[in-house]
Structure 1
Amino acid sequence: MEKLNLSVQGISSASCIKTIKSALSHLEGITSIHVDWESGRVQIQRKSPQYDDIIHALAEVGYLSSLDLDEQNP
């Protein structure tokens, strides 16, 4: 299981969290999604280290994001 940490711009409310979780929940292999709107971070547990589809799904709903390389598994 891979833990992916992303920095996401524009998270400002509970509605944003709902939108983000909805956009990501259908992607293959994702087992959990944690959104911290105060820090602008999203932590995802996934069966594979793939993340490009996550960034694309977030962009589709209006959020710019990037993989937080400092916070990834060693």
Structure 2
Amino acid sequence: MTEIYISVQGMESQACIKAVTKVIQALQDVQSIHVDIQSGRIEVSRTVNKSDDLIHALNAAGYPSSLDLDEQ
């Protein structure tokens, strides 16, 4: 299992958390998601060490994202 940490901009409400969670859950190999709206971070557990699809999906959904290298 791989933990991937992503910084996400624009999350301001419970609706944002639901939208971001739905976007991430639609991708393959995702086991769990933890969204921290206060810090603007998402922790994703997945069976593959791949983050580009996560960031692309979040950006496409209107949530500018980047890999959070401080947590790696």
Report TM bin, short chain.
over 0.9
SS at 1:39's partner residue? coil
Note the C-alpha offset of 1:70. 1.4
Alpha-carbon distance between aligned partners in 1 of 2:34 and 2:27, rounded to the nearest angstrom = 15
Note the C-alpha offset of 1:71. 0.3
| Residue type of the alignment partner of 2:4 | L
- Give the match for residue 54 of structure 1: 54
Check if 1:39 corresponds to 2:32.
no
Measured against aligned partners, the alpha-carbon deviations of 1:36-71 in whole angstroms (never above 9, x if no partner) come to: 111100000010110000001101110011111110
Alpha-carbon distance between aligned partners in 1 of 2:51 and 2:19, rounded to the nearest angstrom = 18
Q: How many residues align?
A: 72
| Gap runs ≥5 in structure 2 | none
- Give the match for residue 67 of structure 2: 67
Question: For the aligned residues, what is the CA RMSD?
Answer: 0.6
- Give the match for residue 13 of structure 1: 13
Measured against aligned partners, the alpha-carbon deviations of 1:18-46 in whole angstroms (never above 9, x if no partner) come to: 00001110111000011011110000001
TM-score (norm 1): 0.94
TM-score (norm 2): 0.96
SS at 1:44's partner residue? strand
Alpha-carbon distance between aligned partners in 1 of 2:15 and 2:9, rounded to the nearest angstrom = 14
Give the percent of matched residue pairs that are identical in Structure 1 and Structure 2: 49
